[in-house]
Amino acid sequence: MLLHDSSVLLITLDSCRYDTFEKAQTPNMRNVGPLHKAKAPSYFTFGSHAAMFVGFTPGIHTARQKFLNPKFGKLFRLEAAGSPGQLPGLFQLSGPDIVSGFARLGYVTIGTAGVGWFDPRIETGQVLTKSFEHFFYSGNTHSLAKQLDWVMRSVEIADGRPVFLFLNVGETHVPYYFEGAAWSPADNPCVPFQTLDRAGDCRIRQTACVEYADRMLGNLLTMFSHASSLICADHGDCWGEDGVWEHGISHEMTLTVPLLLRVSGQGIEQGVGAGQ
């Protein structure tokens, strides 16, 4: 099933480092468009998603190119939300956030997440989720299969209408575990202020989680193949660099993330269509 050409898919691979994605085998996600090395709008889940939900997606500050550099031209341009940029945004939206903006344009808004910041039972979670018409919080960071099953049933509601779909993948977040992995979710190799160097375990496990997500996401990405898709991480993790572990603090490794873009069925390359 292909969704309406005006539909939009936003996937965040929570905590995924750029170098993890770069070395992982991710044929389905790479089919969306070229991999870009971008800077995230924040170094923790709530801050980064709150920024993205008002149009400040990860970007390449040296690129004078819309979408790849949201300062130059945003993919999601929310009315009166910061600088309009050098070029107009693709989606001109109004409201408190882009989710509300898409709803006002007649989109079905669907969201699902696995990280605790999105728990709608708590007030901070309500900030991120309240604007969605349909939202599913999985309750843990290793339920991508359940999330996708819910998504596939939810998109049937659209019945030909365009969809804005947000999917937060929790498997790439600590403890880097996916259903069926050979290690226990109770074993977290990336703990703040730890003195044991487990960077090797972190790298192996987060890579395996990215590759698992890629296998699981194939059908969903195909459904949006003629529409627009943005895949990124909300932030990265530190694995002992400068003595820092995990995220929640500004650091080169927590701010450097993968970014892949497909706009109206066309993958976005750096330097192609710049300044247009």
Which DSSP state fits 156?
G
Mean pLDDT of the chain: 95
* pLDDT higher than 90, residue 76: yes
**Burial (Cβ within 10 Å: 0-12, 13-18, ≥19) of residue 251:** middle
Q: How confident is the model at residue 80 (pLDDT cuts 50, 70, 90)?
A: confident
- Quote the percentage of the chain above a pLDDT of 70: 95
185-209 pLDDT tens trace: 999 999 999 999 999 999 999 999 9
- Say what the pLDDT of residue 273 is: 52
What is the average pLDDT across 49-56? 96
Tokens of 56: 């400040």
* pLDDT over threshold 60, residue 276: no
Q: Is the pLDDT of residue 152 over 70?
A: yes
Domains and CATH numbers, the chain: 8-267 (3.40.720.10)
Per DSSP, the residues of 240-270 read SGGG-EESSS--HHHHEEEEEEEETTEEPPT
Eight-class DSSP state of 22: H
Q: Which amino acid is at 199?
A: A
- Asked if 59 contacts 255 with a C-beta cutoff of 8 angstroms, the reply is no
CA distances, 148 to each of 218, 220, 230, 261 (Å) = 11, 8, 17, 21
- Residue whose C-alpha is closest to residue 89's, from 228, 225, 222, 221: 228
Extract the runs of DSSP E, i.e. beta strands, from the chain: 8-13, 36-39, 76-78, 91-93, 108-113, 134-137, 163-169, 228-232, 238-239, 245-246, 256-263, 266-267
- Identify the band that residue 79 occupies on the pLDDT scale cut at 50, 70 and 90: confident
Output the pTM of the full model. Answer: 0.96
Once rounded to an integer, what is the mean pLDDT over residues 217-227? 97
User: Given this model, what pLDDT does residue 82 score?
Assistant: 67
* Of 3 and 183, more confident: 183
Choose among 59, 57, 22, 19: nearest CA to 39. Answer: 59
pLDDT at residue 274 tops 60: no
Residue pLDDT, tens place only, 93-132? 999 999 999 999 999 999 999 999 999 999 999 999 999 9
pLDDT tens digits, residue range 82-100?
A: 666 655 668 999 999 999 9
